[in-house]
Amino acid sequence: MLDPTYISMNNNPDRDDEGGTERGVATKTREKTKKPSMYRVLLMNDDYTPMEFVVSILIGIFNKSPEEATRVMLSVHQTGIGTCGVYTFEIAETKVAQVMDAAKRNQHPLQCTLEKA
Ligand code: TYC
């Protein structure tokens, strides 16, 4: 999709074109930049990972407040699955890896995945 880009010329009274004769607004077209695809990071419930560990993951990796982290953790605990956040692919992939690494290091079976939003 083409879309006009406005290039400021000498119709701004605070600028001059050094005695030139340009008038008005020049336009050129450019390819519109595409919005990146977004990905949901999902947390799965299990029977063994401590609630406090899940809350600490949501605070430390997903930048949630303690209150929001507790709300998300309880929702996952009650429903089986929940969204930690929605990110571009690279960020979502990094967060999943950080969760899986922390779970492994602490010997918890916590599972985290991503899906296209
Ligand atoms: N169900 C776990 C427990 O009772 C807590 C828990 C919550 C585990 C969320 C994983 O994604 C999870 N200790």
pLDDT at 85 over 70: yes
For residues 98 and 92, what is the distance between their CA atoms, to the nearest angstrom? 10
Read off the tokens for 90.
């690279």
pLDDT in the model for residue 23: 67
How far, in Å, CA of 54 to CA of 57, rounded?
5
Query: Considering only CA atoms, which of 7, 8, 105 is closest in space to residue 60?
Result: 105
Q: Which of 35, 25, 28 is nearest to 5 (CA)?
A: 28
pLDDT at 4 exceeding the cut of 50: no
pLDDT in tens, 30-71: 788 999 999 999 999 999 999 999 999 999 999 999 999 999
pTM of the model: 0.77
Angstrom CA distances, 87 to 38, 48, 55, 63, stand at 5, 28, 20, 13
pLDDT interval class at 9 (50, 70, 90)? very low
Q: Is the CB of 44 under 6 A from ligand 1?
A: yes
**Is any atom of ligand 1 closer than 6 Å to the C-beta of 54?**
yes
Residue with CA nearest ligand 1 atom 12: 45
